[in-house]
A = this chain, B = another copy of it.
């Protein structure tokens, strides 16, 4: 069976797990701590990013961009109306633009700093950079959340799904980021009723279910994290 190296609070890992589940793939999940920079892991992916997919012939594919495109080319094209990328090149461009938005811009502005300060630093040794969160970094990231949730609210309000009429990579990328932030209780859903309705729809999908029961050591999720009707 193929293996997926992932980390539970990594947006990119969750994004690829959602694609694999939507397309009905079975994989062995192996947890990798991204800050450890294990030599064997770097041999698979010199960039050190997550997730990494290792197929049955020991060929590795690294990172959400490479994996999403590869899975579209080898499986998505056969899925007709369940394909997670569109047929039209402009529509594909819009899906990719938003996927990149949630996996890179929102990641840099919000998700990565919050996960690092609140989750990884709890698990790292002092030599690895562990310790209490940096309150200045937390404040900056939290200021940035509102802008991103506002944009999500606008997208959810103007389209059925975030990039258009059909569920796409854009929804899975956004849901991956949102689910990480929601575990941490960082989203004020009162400010984003339409985005909340969109998130409830994604959260109810079978592909999403495994996330709802996962727990991070020494950090309980927000009280509504696992509720489908929050």
Chain A residues proximal to chain B, CB less than 8 Å:
46-47, 59, 61-63, 65-66, 69-70, 73-74, 89-90, 92-93, 96-97, 100-101, 105, 151
Contacts and interface: CB of A to CB of B under 8 A. Distances in A.
B96 A47 contact: no
Main secondary structure of the interface of A (DSSP, over half): helix
Contacts of A65: 65, 96, 100
A96 B89 CA distance: 18
10 contacts: A46-B101, A47-B97, A47-B105, A61-B97, A63-B97, A63-B100, A65-B65, A66-B93, A66-B97, A73-B89
Contacts of A47: 97, 100-101, 105
B97 A74 contact: no
Contact of A46 (B59, B70, B74, B151): B151
Contact of A69 (B74, B96, B101, B151): B96
A198 to B, nearest CB: 18
Contacts of A92: 69-70, 73
A189 B70 CA distance: 35
